[in-house]
Amino acid sequence: MMQVLELVDPARINSIHDRQSSACQRMIQTQPVKTGRGPRRATRACDGCRRLKERCIGTVPCDRCKKSGRSCQFSNRFKRTRGPVADARNKPRGGREPCAATPVDPSTFFEVKRIQALEHVVRHFTGLEQCTTENLDTVIAELAQEEEVLQGMPEDEQDDGSSDGKDDDDTMSPPSCVVHAEFSHLEFSRRVQQRVKDQLADTNCDDLSSETTIDESSPSTQLLSRDAVVLGAVSLFPPAHAARILINVFFEFAQTNYFYVDEETLRQRLDQFFCSSTRVGIKDAPWVCTALMVFALGTQFAHLYQPSSRSASRGLMREAYNVCQSMDDTLALTFYRKACNLIPDILAMASLESIQAFVLLGIYVLPIDPAGLSCTYFGIAIKVATQSNMHQKSSSTLSLREAELRKRVWWTAYILERRICILHGRPVSISRLDIDANLPTDLVQLQPQERINPFQNNMAMLKLTIFMEDARDAILALKNSDKSQRARNFQNLGKVKQELQSYWQTLPLETFCRDLTPGKPLFRSNIHLALIYHLVHISIGRSFIFDESSTNNKDSSATELLQLRKELVDDCVNSAVATIDLCQVLQDEGGLSKSSYTEFSSCCAAVLALVAKCISDRSSQLKDVSKRGMELLKNMSIGVFSTSCEKRTVEGLEVAFDRLSQHTSREDENMKPNEDGYLQFRNWVVMQQIVPGETLQLPRQDNPMLNLFSGSSAGSQHSGAVVNKNGHPLPGYAELSSLPDLGEWFDHGFE
């Protein structure tokens, strides 16, 4: 209709109006029969779809909220009240009285701009691509059918089935429990109680409801151990001064770009323990387990401790250094085993400190068994956090500090589990679609007092992990796609790489993130951040190193894909070289750790990528860099990595690489005599032809070349070795015949 209006003279608007008005009246009076039925309306609709009266599918977020970018929430804020069924037939769907008809000016009613706006609104709320008469008839038919269904439903279920028997207040069902509570026992129990409460008007209803409510706030006391378990754990605590030193080492070298533990709370608990005679009990198991794991990790990184001028005195500096040098991995293992005795209790309590304890347990075993036990610990931390609804937005009843603690601990567990699952091919514990938690904020109350605030690094680590997950998803989509979708998926992967590079360039260059100046406060943390950034590039490009793509295809799209593949592989190789250079910088500055999984795994991934590139290209250009990376891995393998699976992988890789190098060397040695023989033969031919007054004379024999170069046939003009006119020996036939392109010459002779 729009195209017609643009060609019609405005003077004919009135006649068009008459025809269109009569057509509209016939269409409204005579509703078309059912021509199709779209997807059924969900039993519960989100607030946005209810308010805009859109069709909701019931997921979180729903398709329409995701498309429009609005928040998808489920509550009763937009619950509609309806009159009796008899009155509903005479009222519009919103329950409002029909407004009186007003005269319409034809000149404005059929205005092109107005019709374009109406079509835009129709497309937005119906999803139609074209506002044809057939499509509009289908939508009108569906609206009429839905109206009939609503009129035939009971009054309390007409609101899209989304009330579920609940009041508008949120006391009966917290918002964080709504998403996955549809089929739970607890949710159905609440609905039954609410229905009973609505039907009973006596005062005993509240007491009945409280008695039948299922309490899931705390575990049964009979599941917890005796206090003796905690007393045995605290008996392993080091002396107060050694404990403080280990805590300093932990927050200086082990925590880096994450938020494992609330430092202020941990120090307060330890000070209270060392300074008072208060008896600890089983309720203290979470923080006691956390403290033991802090001591264990501090022991692992104690070899990095260097006395600084900021120490209070030379005596304290010397004492702290001696304490750190006396630590070994055996003591760290003792702390870990004692902490493991508390796992059943901290798992039953499911507190915030329980999540911190499981995260630290996973960090400790990360160098030994990343794909097994460590991934399990991180998965338990995620499950305990979801049990406490930490994956959802925090309740308004929490203080700012407590809410921020929950967010930081949640996102730390999320980062660690995501990265390990991606790198080791394990399924994650929770989908990103189920996460509604807010991102951390730089709360002043949680800023460290004695060190620089690493909040920017923490957020950068979170963002890089999300990029790693996006890259993994893009690669999986590319590998599983057919030819028709391969080009688009390849472009999506290239887009992820470009977004990663753009984000990295936005990070600060001073002090935080990209400042790699030795001696700066966050030097080691920034190195780790750069290692993760390059690890994402390595993970993207290494998938295509052995990709056998045909280069003979002249199609422009295929050429573009090959160029993109080459860019991804080149970025992978460059990042691998940069990773080894960064590890070398840490080694030169005395900061390469024998306990850091970030350093070891990044260097290992870089070496693997470089060796794969050498094998693919049959080139030795990256041989020196690979050998340097293997030497760095050997230096890191003297600690907790000595028994790790990745250490064994590196050892096997080194053996294979040495064999490959020897094979390449033998090939080079075998080719060298052939090349020398060919050069000598060329020189001999040239020298024979440049002698004045003489030409090249060859023997006239059945196999002249054989007689010439072997010197063993009777009648040969030469005896023994063949020499040229200057007396230089000539190469043998066996040597020359093996040269490329000379076989035919020896078979047919020279003419």
- Give 151-156 contacts, CB < 8 A, sequence gap 24+: 151/85, 151/88, 151/89, 155/82, 155/84, 155/85
One-letter amino acid of 718: H
Instruction: State residue 568's pLDDT score.
Output: 93
For residues 535 and 547, give the distance between their C-alpha atoms in angstroms, rounded to a whole number.
20
Instruction: State residue 298's pLDDT score.
Output: 92
Percent of the chain with pLDDT over 90: 36
**CA angle centred on 677, ends 672 and 680, rounded to 5°:** 125
Contact yes or no for 592/636 (Cβ under 8 A): yes
Only one residue has tokens 């060859």, namely 698
One-letter amino acid of 419: R
Is pLDDT above 50 for 158?
no
**CA angle centred on 114, ends 113 and 120, rounded to 5°:** 90
Which range has the worst mean pLDDT, 57-66, 198-207, 267-276?
Answer: 198-207
Task: HSE, CB side, 13 Å, CA atoms: give it for residue 707.
Answer: 14
3-class secondary structure, 495: helix
pLDDT tens digits, one per residue of 655-664: 766 776 666 6
Q: Report yes or no on whether pTM surpasses 0.75.
A: no
pLDDT tens digits, one per residue of 452-464: 999 999 999 999 9
DSSP 101-156: P----HHHHT-HHHHHHHHHHHHHHH--SS--HHHHHHHHHHHHHHHHHHHTS-GG
Which range has the worst mean pLDDT, 287-301, 319-333, 686-700?
Answer: 686-700
Higher-confidence position of 487 and 291: 291
pLDDT tens digits, one per residue of 65-124: 777 667 777 766 555 544 444 444 444 444 444 444 456 666 677 787 888 888 878 877
**Confidence band (pLDDT; 50, 70, 90) for 517?**
very high
Mean pLDDT over 169-185 rounds to 51
Mean predicted lDDT score pLDDT of the chain: 74
Is pLDDT above 60 for 168?
no
Of the ranges 180-184, 326-330, 540-544, which is most confident? 540-544
Of the ranges 189-203, 455-469, 716-730, which is most confident? 455-469
Quick one: DSSP state of residue 180?
T
Mean pLDDT over 539-550 rounds to 79
**Confidence band (pLDDT; 50, 70, 90) for 309?**
very low
In what helix (H) or strand (E) does residue 733 lie, and over which residues does it extend? helix 733-737
Is pLDDT above 50 for 526?
yes
For residues 466 and 456, give the distance between their C-alpha atoms in angstroms, rounded to a whole number.
16
Instruction: State residue 403's pLDDT score.
Output: 93
Is pLDDT above 90 for 273?
yes
Only one residue has tokens 């996460």, namely 435
Instruction: State residue 194's pLDDT score.
Output: 79
For residues 500 and 665, give the distance between their C-alpha atoms in angstroms, rounded to a whole number.
40
Instruction: State residue 441's pLDDT score.
Output: 93
Q: From the CA atom positions of the chain, what is the Rg in Å?
A: 38
Cis, peptide link before residue 448, omega less than 30° from 0: no
**Confidence band (pLDDT; 50, 70, 90) for 402?**
very high
pLDDT tens digits, one per residue of 553-602: 556 667 888 888 999 999 999 999 999 999 999 999 877 888 899 999 99
Instruction: State residue 160's pLDDT score.
Output: 43
Phi, psi for 289 (deg, rounded to 5)? -65, -40
